[in-house]
Amino acid sequence: MKRVAALALLGLLLGVAQARAEGPSVGLGAGVVSTEVTSSTTFVTGNLRLPLVPFLVLEPEVGYWKKDYSFLGASVSAEDLSFGANALAVVPVHPFSIWGGAGLGAHELKGTFNVPGLGSGSGSATQLGIHILGGLDFDLAPHIKIFGAGRYDIIQENPRSDNIHETKFYGGVRFVL
On whether residue 7 sits in a domain, the answer given is no
Q: At 117, is the pLDDT very low, low, confident or very high (cuts 50, 70, 90)?
A: confident
pLDDT, tens digit (0-9, with 9 covering 90-100), for 29-58: 999 999 998 899 999 999 999 999 999 999
On whether residue 166 sits in a domain, the answer given is yes
Read off the pLDDT of each residue in 166-175 and give the average, rounded to a whole number: 98
> Is residue 19 scored above 50 in pLDDT?
no
On whether residue 81 sits in a domain, the answer given is yes
Sign of the four-CA dihedral 143, 145, 149, 155: positive
| Number of CB atoms found within 10 A of residue 134's CB | 16
On whether residue 12 sits in a domain, the answer given is no
Reported pTM? 0.83
CATH of the domain at 111: 2.40.160.20
Supply the pLDDT for residue 10.
44
Return the percentage of the chain with pLDDT > 70, whole number.
87
Which residue range forms the structural domain that includes residue 35?
22-176
Q: What stretches of 10-118 adopt beta strand conformation (E)?
A: 25-34, 41-53, 56-71, 74-93, 96-115
